[in-house]
Amino acid sequence: MPIFTFREPGWSPLQEMERLQRRMGRLFEETFGPGLALWRPGVYPLVNISEDHDYLYVRAELPGINPQELEITVHEGNLILRGERKIPAEEKTINYHRRERESGYFRRVVGLPTPVNPDKVEASYKDGILTVKLGKPEEIKPRVIKVQSS
């Protein structure tokens, strides 16, 4: 039996990799307790994904960026975040004691755990946190099923 089949519609190796890595992360967390095993993908920015009944929320800490220069794309179950963090040059006369803040560009693909409605995506930026709110399609929203008694 082949390990991967490419016939499935909407199958994306990237997403599959992310899913697998997440599962591994969860396994770690269950074994060693929380705190030791956050799954870190090695790509900036790190994101936290949460959900409620109607939306998925993807958040990232991006302090001091210009939100106008962020490029946010939803494509085939992936959220793509691209942008640049610029740290304006200070005057030439200064001398540094510490320089820990980093600048540079980033491009991240985040595999979304559920399907989303691409027409219902909003992004906001506040206090250095980017929040992308993605609407879930009606058909995947949880529904309460009543038990009928005869």
Partner 1 sequence: MTEKELKPKAKEEVPAKGERVRPGRVFLPAVDIFETPEALTLVADMPGVPNDKVILDIKDNHLIISGEIIPPMAAGETMLNQEYYTGDFQREFHLGAIIDQARIEATMKDGVLRLLLPKAEKAKPRKIEVKVG
Question: What is the contact surface with partner 1 in residues (CB under 8 A)?
Answer: 22, 38-53, 56-57, 59, 61-65, 85, 87, 90-91, 93-106, 113, 125, 127-129, 131
Residue closer to partner 1 by CB (options 9, 77) is 77
User: Partners of 135 in the beta sheet?
Assistant: 55
Residue closer to partner 1 by CB (options 95, 148) is 95
Find the Cα–Cα–Cα–Cα dihedral 63, 64, 66, 71, rounded to 10°: -30
Question: What's the closest the beta carbon of residue 20 comes to partner 1, in angstroms?
Answer: 13
Residue closer to partner 1 by CB (options 129, 140) is 129
Longest alpha-carbon distance in the chain: 85
Question: What's the closest the beta carbon of residue 54 comes to partner 1, in angstroms?
Answer: 10
135 burial level (CB within 10 Å; 0-12, 13-18, 19+): middle
Q: Residue 134 and residue 140: Cα distance in Å, rounded?
A: 13
Are 117 and 135 a contacting pair, CB within 8 Å? yes
Residue closer to partner 1 by CB (options 85, 121) is 85
Question: What's the closest the beta carbon of residue 37 comes to partner 1, in angstroms?
Answer: 10
Question: What's the closest the beta carbon of residue 135 comes to partner 1, in angstroms?
Answer: 14
